[in-house]
Amino acid sequence: MPTPASATPFATKPARAAYIGRRLAELYPAPPIPLDHKDAYTLLVAVLLSAQCTDKRVNLQTPGLFARADNPRDMVKLTVADIDSHVRPCGLAPRKARAIHRLSEILLEKHGGEVPRTFEELEALPGVGHKTASVVMSQAFGYAAFPVDTHIHRLAQRWRLTKRGASVERVEADLKKLFPESEWNPLHLRIIFYGREHCTARGCDGHTCEICRTVNGPGKA
């Protein structure tokens, strides 16, 4: 007689979350920050550039930009066209270049040249949304946050930690409820690395990679 779904080890979200958290910690005990940077400002610029662009591509472009301007004072001395020329391969270059130039001006005008340490102030900057602010708050300042990128959005649904078709905001709220706050910062990086290396958009159907097979069971033959 088949085992009822309710009796399986991973029938509940908390059970799945507990296993996923443990397994990801084993696979990625000390996950590195994917975007190359040296301080909060260079991280902010790099995260802004990563919108609709890979971290790998951003890391190829930022050395040239940061060689000319790795702080807001030097950045505002460049023209928007100068910045654009360095970041063009990242996509959406004109908009991103304008945002980088203007946010650098605002940092000098309102924040003494420093990157602010609150979500409200960060999200008030041009080109900075909640996800970018969350990355900066967690990776630059150690504030507990759970930035949701495309990998996390996809895997949270595959692992049934949130509803299918859930918004980014809903995914973030659901994950924060399932995992202890002390794990948010390393965990969001672990999920990103696992999504890139094992549970890719096309390489896994929700039953292929190790974690999917474990928490969802094998797919139909």
- The string of DSSP codes covering 162-212 is S-TT--HHHHHHHHHHHS-GGGHHHHHHHHHHHHHHTS-TTT--SSSSHHH
Dihedral sign from CA coordinates of 32, 33, 35, 40: negative
Torsion angle of C-alpha atoms 199, 203, 209, 212, degrees rounded to 10: 70
Dihedral sign from CA coordinates of 203, 205, 211, 214: negative
- Catalytic residue annotation: 131, 149
The rounded distance, in Å, linking the Cα atoms of 128 and 179 is: 26
Q: With CA atoms as reference, report the closest residue to 97 among 109, 116, 82, 107.
A: 82
The rounded distance, in Å, linking the Cα atoms of 143 and 181 is: 10
Location of structure tokens 């040249």: 113
- The three-state secondary structure class of 4 is coil
